[in-house]
């Protein structure tokens, strides 16, 4: 089922000049309600890029469709393919986290949606309308850049006020909104400071506040909290999530931090070399990563290489490069041939270590503790398995393990995913 959004929405300027005060007023009226109909699903749907339209009760045309739609979007820089036929459908009100290694194309994708780059091929639709060729300022999206992009000649308050002035909002209302937003990002006393007098983290908060102050329907954020300390990040994560829910905004949020992605987003996409490795809801992508790459990236999984062995009846295993047989399950399909090249991904949180004797998982392998990293709520234990393969486990609290200690290691076979290696 498609969500419903207006074909040609009132511009934000029109809407907010008429009633700039509250979120409630922005959502008043049936079209406002229709345009903010929430959807829960996000998926890749390259085959159906367009919308059906039908008249609404008042005779105005409304369009069935998604908030942001990318249809086979490609981008090259000097013959290098940076984005390769990316398709994505985000429904109104989704919070989509874009994850991926450095250079995978995340910022480029955001710049294409924002209008600062033009795709070489494919279509980009926002609120049902193609925006390819539409200048950035006319797309009505809020953007927080990786590089802040603040106006150095304006002070903090003027930076925040700028997008509101462009919307024609009156000075008194601007003043109130700017002050409220500065309080939110804990820069209450900084309104008159020059941008060049601020630290990197403070500048990042100004950039975040400037994007949020305009209360946009579509908000694109490129690592908006990368330079902030943990306590401020934790607080702002809650604020951003609550703000998104109260505004019904659609957010694309780039982060390197998988915990942040899981905490904030209801949908996650993992980009690798310009292609999505997996797109899905946060819970299922964490529980069932579609590739060893996604498992490593999202859960910090250990990835072991070897050959496939076993059968459906007796259970599958990976025979690792050192001859150890490690039980697991195939992510989707069984191997094309016995002994096929395979890799196994194991989430560290699901590895169980015991001192000796019977193992609660019913099977186990000898190992030795190679390193112990206490990180507060848990301890990361690096293990060398019998034969020499290495594996990481995460134990709750301070585990008290010591380097060199002999242990037994096991996991539920259904928690270790096997993937056939087809092209290596």
Ligand X SMILES: Nc1ncnc2c1ncn2[C@@H]1O[C@H](COP(=O)(O)OP(=O)(O)OP(=O)(O)O)[C@@H](O)[C@H]1O
Site residues (CB under 5 A) for Mg ion, limited to 131-160: 146
Asked if 103 interacts with ligand X (CB under 6 A), we say yes
CB of 132 to ligand X, least distance (A): 18
Q: Which is closer to ligand X, CB of 207 or CB of 308?
A: 207
Contact region for Mg ion (CB under 5 A) — 1-9, 56-64, 102-110, 210-218?
102-110
Distance, in Å, from the CA atom of 335 to the CA atom of 322, rounded to the nearest integer, reads 20
Q: Which is closer to Mg ion, CB of 92 or CB of 107?
A: 107
Site residues (CB under 5 A) for Mg ion, limited to 193-232: none
Q: Which is closer to ligand X, CB of 180 or CB of 259?
A: 259
Distance, in Å, from the CA atom of 174 to the CA atom of 193, rounded to the nearest integer, reads 18
List alpha helices for 269-417, DSSP H. Answer: 282-287, 292-299
Asked if 102 interacts with ligand X (CB under 6 A), we say yes
- Dihedral sign, Cα of residue 110, residue 113, residue 116, residue 122: positive
For residue 12, the surrounding DSSP H or E stretch is helix 12-18
Asked if 106 interacts with ligand X (CB under 6 A), we say yes
Q: Which is closer to ligand X, CB of 117 or CB of 343?
A: 117
- Binder of ligand X out of 42, 94, 104, 299 (CB under 6 A): 104
Which two tokens mark 249?
């905004």
CB of 282 to Mg ion, least distance (A): 21
Q: Which is closer to ligand X, CB of 108 or CB of 167?
A: 108
- Binder of ligand X out of 5, 108, 255, 347 (CB under 6 A): 108
Compute CA distances 183 → 178, 204, 207, 304, 320, whole Å: 9, 14, 14, 48, 55
- Cβ atoms of 414 and 344 within 8 Å: the answer is no
Read out DSSP for 162-201? HHHHHTT--HHHHHHHHHHHHHHTT-GGGTT-BGGGS-HH
Question: How many other CB atoms are there within 10 angstroms of residue 198's CB atom?
Answer: 18
Q: By beta-carbon distance, which residue lies closest to Mg ion? A: 107
Read out DSSP for 100-111? --TTSSHHHHHH
Contact region for ligand X (CB under 6 A) — 23-31, 97-105, 313-321, 374-382?
97-105
- Binder of ligand X out of 77, 242, 287, 371 (CB under 6 A): 77
Site residues (CB under 6 A) for ligand X, limited to 131-170: 146
Count the site residues for ligand X by CB under 6 A.
11
- Binder of ligand X out of 65, 100, 119, 122 (CB under 6 A): 100
How many CA within 13 A on the CB side of residue 212?
A: 27
CB of 136 to Mg ion, least distance (A): 17
Q: Which is closer to ligand X, CB of 83 or CB of 213?
A: 83
**Strand extents, DSSP E, 233-324:** 250-254, 267-272, 275-281, 302-311, 315-320
CB of 267 to ligand X, least distance (A): 18
| Phi-psi sector, 91: left (phi>0), alpha (psi -120 to 50), beta | beta
Asked if 107 interacts with Mg ion (CB under 5 A), we say yes
> Pick from ligand X, Mg ion, none: which does 77 bind, CB < 5 to 8 A by kind?
ligand X
Orientation angle between helical segments 156-166 and 200-213, nearest 10 degrees: 20
Binding site for ligand X (CB under 6 A): 77, 82, 100, 102-108, 146
Binding site for Mg ion (CB under 5 A): 107, 146
């Amino acid at each position: 089922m498609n969500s419903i959004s207006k074909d040609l929405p009132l511009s934000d300027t029109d809407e907010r000049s008429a009633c700039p005060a509250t979120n409630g007023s922005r959502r008043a009226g049936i079209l406002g309600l229709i345009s903010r109909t929430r959807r829960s699903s996000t998926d890749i749907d390259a085959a159906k890029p367009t919308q059906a339209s039908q008249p609404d009760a008042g005779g105005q045309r409304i369009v069935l469709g998604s908030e942001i739609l990318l249809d086979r979007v490609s981008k090259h820089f000097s013959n290098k393919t940076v984005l390769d036929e990316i398709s994505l459908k985000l429904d109104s009100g989704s919070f989509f986290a874009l994850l991926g290694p450095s250079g995978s194309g995340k910022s480029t994708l955001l710049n294409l949606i924002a209008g600062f780059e033009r795709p070489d091929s494919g279509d980009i639709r926002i609120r049902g309308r193609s925006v390819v060729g539409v200048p950035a300022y006319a797309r009505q999206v809020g953007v927080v850049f990786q590089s802040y992009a603040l106006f150095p000649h304006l002070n903090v308050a003027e930076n925040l006020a700028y997008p509101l002035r462009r919307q024609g909002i009156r000075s008194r209302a601007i003043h109130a909104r700017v002050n409220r937003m500065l309080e939110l990002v804990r820069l209450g006393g900084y309104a008159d400071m020059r941008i060049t007098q601020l630290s990197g983290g403070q500048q990042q908060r100004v950039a975040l506040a400037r994007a949020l102050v305009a209360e946009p329907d579509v908000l694109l954020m490129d690592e908006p909290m990368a330079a902030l300390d943990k306590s401020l990040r934790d607080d702002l994560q809650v604020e951003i999530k609550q703000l998104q829910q109260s505004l019904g905004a659609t957010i694309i949020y780039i982060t390197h931090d998988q915990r942040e992605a899981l905490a904030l987003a209801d949908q996650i996409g993992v980009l690798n070399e310009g292609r999505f490795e997996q797109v899905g809801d946060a819970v299922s992508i964490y529980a069932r990563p579609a590739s060893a790459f996604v498992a490593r990236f999202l859960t910090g999984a250990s990835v072991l290489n070897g050959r496939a062995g076993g059968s459906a009846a007796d259970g599958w295993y990976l025979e690792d490069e050192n001859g150890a047989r490690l039980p697991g399950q195939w992510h989707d399909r069984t191997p094309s041939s016995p002994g096929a090249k395979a890799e196994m991904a194991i989430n560290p949180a699901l590895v169980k270590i015991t001192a000796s004797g019977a193992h609660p998982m019913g099977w186990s392998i000898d190992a030795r503790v190679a390193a112990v990293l206490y990180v507060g709520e848990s301890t990361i234990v690096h293990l060398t398995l019998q034969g020499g393969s290495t594996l990481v486990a995460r134990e709750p609290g301070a585990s008290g393990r010591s380097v060199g200690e002999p242990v037994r290691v096991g996991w539920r076979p259904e928690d270790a995913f096997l993937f056939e290696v087809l092209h290596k």
